[in-house]
Structure 1
Amino acid sequence: MSDRIPRLEMAEMRPDLAAYLTPRVERLRYLGELFKCVGHAPDVTLQFMHFTDALKHALPDRLTELGALTVASYMENRYERHQHERLSEKLGFPRTWIAQVNRLDPAAATELSDVEKVAQTYALKALRTRGLEAQAEFDTLARLLSPAEAMAFVMLIGRYVTHALAVNTLGLKPPVPSIFEGEQ
């Protein structure tokens, strides 16, 4: 874990960022280490959080969580994957659905809808090829979603890649365990 970035507590953050994060911290009962680090860039962090909020409103919950879990699993971002497993459960998604999303094998997934399979297929191709060879998969997705939703999904993938790069660069440990920890 990188110790080059001092960890800020809420009282040390700029007041507008601390105020924005307070409801999230109260709900989760902890201030994630990522926020303790990115709090050093309050303007960027606030915009990142507004972007995140806008994405949540732009897509149905299942597509949002599918995208978040797909990128987190692909990028080996256990920090975010564990949190989104918990959020998916809180939203009422079955553990079997969550597990199948995490496996990154949409062709074999029986719990995913056709749209979800296409969305995960696109996300994985975009990640593997840096978007350079994902046009056919995107076109398939765009036939099933509105233009606004299709573009929001593309942006969602980028949002979670950004998160993974930060977490992986800093070597941050997950603040909560996986819902599957202890299961065989």
Structure 2
Amino acid sequence: MENPINQKRGSGLSAIALVLLIVAFVAAWFYVKPQWEEVSGMSKGRDELLTERQNASDKLVELQKLQQELSSSSEVSQETTLAAIPEKLEQEKLIRDLSDIAQKNNMLLGSINFGIGQTSTDSGIDKVQVNLNVTGSQSDLISFLRGLEGSSRKLVVKNIAVQLGEAALGSRVNFNVSAEAYYQGSI
């Protein structure tokens, strides 16, 4: 038979071992749990970053396709734009063109004023300010502006001022139209 002291000692050692095991488990739990939460948070953050990266990659591919489409069409657009910009100012031809556009759209062209030309050093394209005084109805003005847009020469309308006309003219109104005409001054 075993000695009762040895038996008490064995059960005491077992109890101490069990308490030490529980203390070690609790200590490990308090040490590992924050680390585990940090790793879980980092894993979620990594997943979110991977999703953002994939979305950005998809957007980049889409933008590259769009850029490729635009670059192929922009060469044609550039040639068309350059064809709409004469090499010289050609004021006489510009006056005739503006007069024809006004007549075709039932507008009475009162006066044309030219400003001082401005040079764009980057592109070599020069522009001159053109102020037109035209008389007509609102619908005629809209047609006139569409005629300017459809002109064979590059014209950009910058400003329109409206002035009520005389009663003798009926529903006609005076319009002051400021536009820019472009030409290839240094090319």
Considering the TM-score relative to the shorter chain, is it more than 0.5? Answer: no
Q: Which has the higher contact order (CA 8 A, sep 6+)?
A: 1
TM-score (norm 2): 0.21
> Would you tell me which structure has more strand in proportion to its own residues?
2
TM-score (norm 1): 0.21
User: Which structure has the greater CA radius of gyration?
Assistant: 2
